[in-house]
């Protein structure tokens, strides 16, 4: 088998320029696979059309959700929330032959293979709190009391993260949009996802390409302009995955900081396209999908 294993994320096709980019993505070789690591768009229909048409063009499309797919916007004709929304995407993907985190992990047999490609859906639990979050919360007496109450009855990590975000003057975009129903919080959903995913990863033989929307490690979030966003960017529960499992490369997005880094000798590929204002800053068009293997 020839071809390349390619990866892209954060297509955000609600922006016309990004939609044109997604519509123009096509394989150079009929054997090319495309990893789509979340944040295709914000509405169910947008995500569905784009994934279905990519599946029509590429030999295989592998998708995992980002936070934006999980938003429930008032304007969306599909008003599903939380797990029900995720399950509706699974149904859509099954219909059009797109591989999801719930499917058997496919094995790339092309150049650089055989390698198992594992899309994982991990979410976040506010544990990526930047250094100083606790101090910021302590400096705000209302936030401190809220955090104390929350630590007793609810979600203290979220409360502290929100207090730090408020102090930094930023508004986390998921709040009020991403719902975790029937879980009480994204953190509770995240915890369940981590447990189930670890069992599946432990059963994989041989090398892995691990694909998630959120970075497995906190380190890449150090490059964020606003550190107060970090709690919405992943979970410390995945910190050891790249060394515990035989990971050849970890593919992720979410940060909108496309680059290649090494952590403990493992290649990490942030493959986001990002918003037009972001990629226009770097060039006249978004770069082509990243080559993970082959080519």
Please, what is the angle between helix 141-153 and helix 156-168, to 10°?
160
The strand pair at 290-293 and 5-8 is best described as antiparallel
Contacts of 51 (CB under 8 A, 6+ apart): 36, 40, 61, 63, 92, 93, 96, 98
Decide whether 76 or 140 has the Cβ nearer to Fe ion. Answer: 76
Shorter beta-carbon distance to Fe ion: residue 10 or 150: 10
The tokens of 82 are what?
Answer: 């939380």
From 25-33, 39-47, 71-79, 81-89, give the range in contact with Fe ion by CB under 5 A: 39-47
Shortest reach from residue 206's CB to Fe ion, in Å = 31
CB of 18 to Fe ion, least distance (A): 10
Q: How far is the CB of 274 from Fe ion (least distance, A)?
A: 7
Distance (Å, whole) CA 132 – CA 134: 5
Provide, rounded to whole angstroms, the least separation between the CB of residue 229 and Fe ion.
11
Q: Which is nearer to Fe ion, 54 or 160 (CB)?
A: 54
Could you tell me which stretch among 36-44, 121-129, 179-187, 205-213 binds Fe ion (CB under 5 A)? 36-44
CB 216 within 8 A of CB 234: yes
Position 39 contacts Fe ion (CB under 5 A): yes
CB of 135 to Fe ion, least distance (A): 29
Rounded to an integer, what is the distance from CA 5 to the centroid of its chain? 18
The interface with Fe ion within residues 1-30 (CB under 5 A) comprises 10
CA distances from 41 to 24, 268, 284 (A): 16, 23, 21
Considering the complex, state which of residue 110 and residue 274 has its C-beta at the smaller distance from Fe ion. 274
Residue 232 C-beta: closest distance to Fe ion, Å:
11
Residue among 39 and 125 whose Cβ is closer to Fe ion: 39
100, HSE (Cβ side, Cα atoms, 13 Å): 17
Give the count of residues interacting with Fe ion (CB under 5 A): 2
- For residue 272, which phi and psi values (nearest 5 degrees)? -75, 150
Nearest residue (CB) to Fe ion, 10 versus 32:
10
Query: Binding string to Fe ion for residues 213 to 252, with x set by CB under 5 A, is what?
Result: ----------------------------------------
Question: Residue 132 region, left (φ>0) first, then alpha (ψ -120 to 50), else beta?
Answer: left
155 near Fe ion, rule: CB under 5 A:
no
List all residues 6 or more positions away from 145 whose beta carbon is below 8 Å from its beta carbon: none
Of 236, 276, 237, 232, nearest to 255 (Cα)?
Answer: 232
Question: Shortest approach of Fe ion to residue 277 CB, angstroms?
Answer: 13
Query: Which residue, 4 or 254, has its beta carbon nearer to Fe ion?
Result: 254
Residue numbers at the binding site for Fe ion (CB under 5 A): 10, 39
């Amino acid at each position: 088998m020839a071809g390349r294993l390619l990866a892209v994320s954060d297509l955000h096709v609600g922006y016309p320029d990004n939609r044109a980019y997604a519509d123009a993505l096509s394989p150079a070789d009929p054997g090319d696979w495309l990893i789509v690591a979340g944040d295709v768009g914000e509405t169910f229909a947008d995500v569905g059309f784009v994934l279905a048409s990519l599946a029509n063009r590429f030999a295989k499309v592998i998708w995992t959700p980002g936070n934006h797919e999980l938003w429930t916007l008032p304007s969306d004709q599909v008003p599903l929330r939380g797990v029900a929304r995720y399950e509706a995407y699974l149904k859509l993907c099954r219909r059009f032959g797109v591989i999801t985190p719930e499917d058997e992990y496919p094995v790339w047999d092309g150049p650089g293979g055989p390698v198992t490609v594992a899309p994982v859906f991990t979410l976040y639990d506010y544990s990526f709190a930047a250094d100083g979050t606790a101090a910021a919360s302590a400096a705000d007496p209302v936030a401190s009391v809220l955090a104390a109450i929350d630590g007793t009855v609810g979600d203290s990590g979220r409360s502290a993260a929100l207090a730090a975000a408020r102090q930094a003057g930023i508004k986390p975009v998921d709040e009020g949009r991403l719902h975790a129903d029937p879980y009480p919080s994204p953190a509770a959903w995240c915890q369940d996802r981590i447990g189930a995913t670890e069992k599946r990863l432990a059963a994989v033989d041989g090398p892995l390409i691990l694909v998630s929307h959120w970075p497995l490690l906190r380190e890449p979030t150090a490059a964020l302009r606003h550190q107060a966003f970090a709690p919405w960017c992943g979970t410390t529960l995945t910190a050891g995955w790249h060394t515990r499992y035989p990971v050849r490369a970890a593919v992720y997005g979410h940060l909108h900081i496309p680059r290649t880094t090494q952590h403990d000798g493992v290649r990490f590929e942030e493959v986001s396209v990002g918003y037009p204002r972001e990629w226009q800053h770097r060039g006249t068009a978004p770069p082509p999908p990243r080559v993970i293997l082959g080519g």
